[in-house]
Structure 1
Amino acid sequence: MIMNGELWTSLGSTAAAIMFAWAMIQQYFPSTLRESLTKYGHRFVTYFYPYIQITFHEYTADRWSRSMVYSTIEAYLTSNSSMRAKRLKADAGKNTRNLVLSLDDHEEVTDEFQGVKFWWSSDKTVSKTTFFSFYPSSDEKRFYKLTFHKQHRDLVTASYLNHVMEQGKAVGVKNRQRKLYTNNSKSAWTHVVFEHPATFQTLAMEPEKKKDIMDDLISFSKSKDYYKKIGKAWKRGYLLYGPPGTGKSSMIAAIANLLDYDIYDLELTSVKDNTELRKLLIETSSKSIIVIEDIDCSLDLTGQRKKNKEEEKENKEGEGVPAAIKEEAEKGKDKESKVTLSGLLNFIDGLWSACGAEKLIVFTTNYVEKLDPALIRRGRMDKHIEMSYCNYEGFKVLAMNYLDLDSHPLFETIRGLLKDTQITPADVAENLMPKSFGENAKEDCLEAMIRALQLAKEEASRLKAEEASAESTRKEEISKSTKEAQEKESLTEA
């Protein structure tokens, strides 16, 4: 016992001496000398250390995109993390009911491949400035570290890493949970779980039109080799246009559910400039839908520029304005988004659009005529889909969705009214929503639908009569003005 105590005392003294010596070196030795000592010390240790380490960082290229290798390794390690690791972190699985477990920070697990043992560890580095932060810092840099004996180098490079990538991709697909992303004021993506129930079966649309859209989407998802053959990025643009309430957002959700894609809802007004727009594009994943809703309202993207005379007029009007007011106005302009039409076009089909693969870009608008033709031409928005008012086929879909009815004596009355009335699927759905669940609930909903159609028909007739009256009045005024002008001209000649 005494000898053991002396041994520990000796080891403690030695460690203290080494720490003191290193502190002196850090304090008084030049930086170049310290670097040389570190370099040769590392070589000396590795000469006797029989293990090799490979590091896989979460982010590369100045954090512009999350490493796919890191994500794949993360998925691979979930297969044995729950059985061997002591500290784990949990996330929701594909159906949000099951939890997916992965390694927590600074945890290690072992793995075996062809009888060889490997060690995986999850670590992170944090910059000194983040220790006083109340929130998790973006300066945290996570990485996985693989450790193995140097005699197995060839096995790792030839087989093991390929095995990890293949298995990781399979696990990732199995556990993948679709997400709905949005960008914030710092031009970074945040997400929630995507659980929208809309499908093509529940969309109020003609069956032929739905089939055409579905065939186009499925064909796109299977066309990787074709796009490579023709030399185009594997992406496709969709333009959804029509009046409000015609189901444009539901169409996007149905597309995501059909193809099992993530959705990136891009808010252009939160993007500082074209550089930030490119950064957001790079950070989107494959198998995703990039959505810009109400593109006509997001920014002034008509492509028109102010004339020089108008700019001169603005400059003259600004003369004599106090400097403080001018400064505040300039600050307000600086906060506005500087995304340009050119930047958005490059985002859609320029060089930067080739980042990632298997992507859909979807624009929605209520007023397609307001958009610059360059923005929606074929090749950028490859397929134009008009989301129109509800017809009888669409009504039948909604009646089945809301009332579980595929036929009813009142259907014929509704069919006749729909031929002469414009009503959106959203209004139809509101009328078909049961207000109670009594015996006559379904008939009450259909009768409410008929009343709504009759009111819409009467309103349309009233507006049509007012327009006809206004047109007639306008023609009378033109005729009267023409007659007065002719009479005046006759008097002048006389």
Structure 2
Amino acid sequence: MASTLSVLAAFTIIRSTFNEFFPNEIREYFWSLIRRFSPEFTLVIEESHHGSGNHIYKAAMAYLGSHVLSASSADGSLKRLTVGKNENVRQFTFGLDRHSEIVDFFHGVPMKWKYYSDVNTNSNIQLTAESRWYELSCKKKHAEMVESEYLPHVIDMAKKLKDRNRMVKFHTIRSESWCSKGVNLEHPMTFDTLAMDGDHKKDIVEDLDSFINGKEYYKKVGKVWKRGYLLHGPPGTGKSSFIAAMANHLNFDIFNLNLSAVKSDSSLEYLLLHVSNHSILVIEDIDCTVKLQNREAGDQTASYPHLQVTLSGLLNAIDGLLSCCGDERIIVFTTNYKDRIDPALLRAGRMDKHICLSYCTFSTFKQLAAIYLGISNHDLFSRIEKIIGQIKVSPAEVAGELLKSKDSKTCLEGLIQFLESKESQATPEKTKPQGEDGNNNKQEKGCQSKASTKTDMTNGDSPNHNAITFPVVGSNAMTVGEYTVKAELTPILSAVLLKHGDIVANSTLNSMQCRSSLLEIACGIIQKLQAVKLEGITELELQSLLTTVSDLESVKLQISWLHKRLDEIIEAVQLVRRSSTLKEDKRKNLQEIEMEKEMESCHTEKPELQKKSLQIQKMKVVTQKHSENISSTEAKLSYFHERSLVDGLL
């Protein structure tokens, strides 16, 4: 021990003597000679670079954060790690603590990372700043590999890790610009829980994966790294849920573009220029959300002064030079009537893949039963298979029935009754002459056709190539007063007119056909709300319906009562989520109270007993507040639990 202390003392004396007698310049030269003959090569990666953030520093932080925990568990070399989490990420993020190091292996070559931080204080202006940096060391012979391969690998992996961990955001338009801060999209739908027929789901997932991994291929062939999808099919077949599953699978943000809120082509260009990369642009109900002016008919501007987005403007925005200003983007269009979309929009490059989401089949039902009830077979399946093949029922309607009970037999019996009632309602329609239900037949044939998944149409072959019109009611329609709508919506329209009067009388659209179409859209929303319970509809679906209602109000439909009801239902859905959270918090509090009581019994000293008793009293107060909040929430929800979502509207 004495000899060790003597060596240390001698070393300290030599070092101080060396620093005292040799100027700083000579010392620096001496150390540079030592570094010149050192076998190691070191890169210093500072937090800032030339006055701005250092991209490589941020990449190193994310990359090393994914390695430190496993490295610490493996060899125990790291004793201290940093950990953090905020609302914009899904999982905890780890990092190196100050003055710690980690070794990463790349192609069998050890890469030594060290993290440093230092506090700099300026006594003149009393300013304190912290400097942070990484040092990357390896053998000199690998310096070229670090520059050309390892650092690009770190940056690429950091991007993938960051994209995988961040929360998906949902963006909407306000005053012709995107909201400054999107909301977290917490939709639980994934492709694992999405019910689809046959191999369609697998093909779609493979197509998405091929796109996301195709950066170099798109660059090689000279195409913009984007892809377009058209989702078409009857209402309630899962188009909104499909979009949520896409966003969760790719971890892409959603930008919901409401064309009726855009006043001009230049505003549309501005919005699309500010859509971020790594995102999905959604344009719902492209066939009826907005009246796109014909480029060749200059007299239509005066007729629709409030609707100024043109078809040419939309085409140029999604497939012109403007589309080159961004990468890794997906555009999704939705419609209930594919045959009403202008062929110029349908061609490859704009809508590359056409996906039909049709009525529920027996295969779809089995997937829903597995998801909702956890069963793959049942004695009642044969009866359901017989009925479901003969009627038109949406997956949303079937899912709504499966949510009514957790007992599989009760649930399936209720579903059979529902399907039989649908079958009895559909029986009169089967006696109609062939061709009466033209629109629905076309739609079903389009879904069954092999060509429904891909379409490549040349621009300009159709005489209607510059105009998108409002829906045209099919020949299965009936008249209520002056208006003509689908037969299934006539009871709803009659009730609306009786209760609220002529809601379309003050519309800015004068054509009876257009007014009938607007009424059909409004009645369709009411029909959807009639068909589901509060637990069977998501907030994302409600927001989509609310957007449609706002579009209708923009053309002076008097449906503020429907707008108000949708706001109430959205609030109720949020209350359901809040109630669930409160119940969980209450359960945890009760557990903690029991634990504290057990610990209280172990303490005999009076101060400790008083402290534990006080803690228990505080937790009881919090639990009581949770109980009161739960009771209040349940009271507000009782209205929708006991009634239809449209109760009192008609």
Task: Give the TM-score category using the shorter length.
Answer: 0.5 to 0.7
The answer on 1:232 being equivalent to 2:227 is no
SS at structure 2 position matched to 1:92: coil
Residue number among 173, 186, 194 corresponding to 1:183 in the alignment: 173
C-alpha distance after superposition, 1:424-477 (max 9, x if no partner): 101111111124x4xxx3212111211222222222221233557999xx9xxx
Structure 1 pair 71/273, CA: closer, same or farther in 2 (3 Å)? farther
Bigger relative contact order, structure 1 or 2, given CA contacts below 8 A and separation 6+? 1
Q: For 1:377 and 1:454, locate their aligned partners in 2 and report how far apart those are by CA, in whole Å.
A: 41
Q: For 1:305 and 1:446, locate their aligned partners in 2 and report how far apart those are by CA, in whole Å.
A: 56
* Structure 1 portions without partners, runs of 5+: 1-51, 57-68, 81-88, 102-108, 121-143, 149-157, 315-331, 475-494
The answer on 1:215 being equivalent to 2:181 is no
SS at structure 1 position matched to 2:263: coil
Residue number among 412, 416, 424 corresponding to 1:450 in the alignment: 416
Q: For 2:130 and 2:395, locate their aligned partners in 1 and report how far apart those are by CA, in whole Å.
A: 54
The answer on 1:340 being equivalent to 2:335 is no
Q: How far has the Cα of 1:166 moved from its partner?
A: 6.8
The answer on 1:413 being equivalent to 2:383 is yes
| Amino acid paired to 1:338 | Q
SS at structure 2 position matched to 1:291: strand
SS at structure 1 position matched to 2:276: coil
Structure 1 pair 198/72, CA: closer, same or farther in 2 (3 Å)? farther
Structure 1 pair 297/74, CA: closer, same or farther in 2 (3 Å)? farther
**Greater displacement, 256-265 / 170-179:** 170-179
SS at structure 2 position matched to 1:237: strand
Q: Give yes or no for contact 1:247–1:425 (8 Å, CA) kept in 2.
A: yes
Equivalent residue pairs, number: 338
Q: For 1:251 and 1:100, locate their aligned partners in 2 and report how far apart those are by CA, in whole Å.
A: 33
Q: How far has the Cα of 1:307 moved from its partner?
A: 7.5
Residue number among 349, 361, 372 corresponding to 1:379 in the alignment: 349
* Structure 2 portions without partners, runs of 5+: 1-47, 66-83, 102-112, 121-128, 134-145, 438-474, 476-650
TM-score (norm 1): 0.58
Q: Give yes or no for contact 1:246–1:426 (8 Å, CA) kept in 2.
A: yes
Q: Give yes or no for contact 2:254–2:281 (8 Å, CA) kept in 1.
A: yes
The answer on 1:464 being equivalent to 2:426 is no
C-alpha distance after superposition, 1:141-185 (max 9, x if no partner): xxx99999xxxxxxxxx98xx799678646634642221222212
Q: CA RMSD in A?
A: 4.2
SS at structure 1 position matched to 2:171: strand
Q: How far has the Cα of 1:204 moved from its partner?
A: 2.1
Q: For 1:54 and 1:145, locate their aligned partners in 2 and report how far apart those are by CA, in whole Å.
A: 16
Q: For 1:174 and 1:404, locate their aligned partners in 2 and report how far apart those are by CA, in whole Å.
A: 29
1:401 maps to 371
Q: How far has the Cα of 1:397 moved from its partner?
A: 0.8
Structure 1 pair 265/119, CA: closer, same or farther in 2 (3 Å)? farther
Q: For 1:469 and 1:425, locate their aligned partners in 2 and report how far apart those are by CA, in whole Å.
A: 26
1:54 maps to 50
The answer on 1:241 being equivalent to 2:232 is yes
Q: How far has the Cα of 1:93 moved from its partner?
A: 4.0
TM-score (norm 2): 0.45
Q: For 2:435 and 2:343, locate their aligned partners in 1 and report how far apart those are by CA, in whole Å.
A: 35
Residue number among 180, 190, 207 corresponding to 1:199 in the alignment: 190
Q: How far has the Cα of 1:343 moved from its partner?
A: 1.7
C-alpha distance after superposition, 1:192-217 (max 9, x if no partner): 11221112222221131111111111
2:336 maps to 366
| Amino acid paired to 1:178 | V
2:479 maps to none
Q: Give yes or no for contact 2:167–2:251 (8 Å, CA) kept in 1.
A: no
The answer on 1:434 being equivalent to 2:404 is yes
| Amino acid paired to 1:415 | E
- 1:65-464 mapped onto 2 (5 Å cutoff): 91-95=86-90, 169=159, 172-173=162-163, 175-189=165-179, 190-301=181-292, 303=294, 306=297, 333=305, 336-435=306-405, 437=406, 441-464=407-430
Q: Give yes or no for contact 2:229–2:332 (8 Å, CA) kept in 1.
A: yes
Q: Give yes or no for contact 1:72–1:168 (8 Å, CA) kept in 2.
A: no
Q: For 1:470 and 1:173, locate their aligned partners in 2 and report how far apart those are by CA, in whole Å.
A: 50
| Amino acid paired to 2:417 | R
Structure 1 pair 173/200, CA: closer, same or farther in 2 (3 Å)? closer
Q: Give yes or no for contact 1:53–1:145 (8 Å, CA) kept in 2.
A: no
SS at structure 2 position matched to 1:380: coil
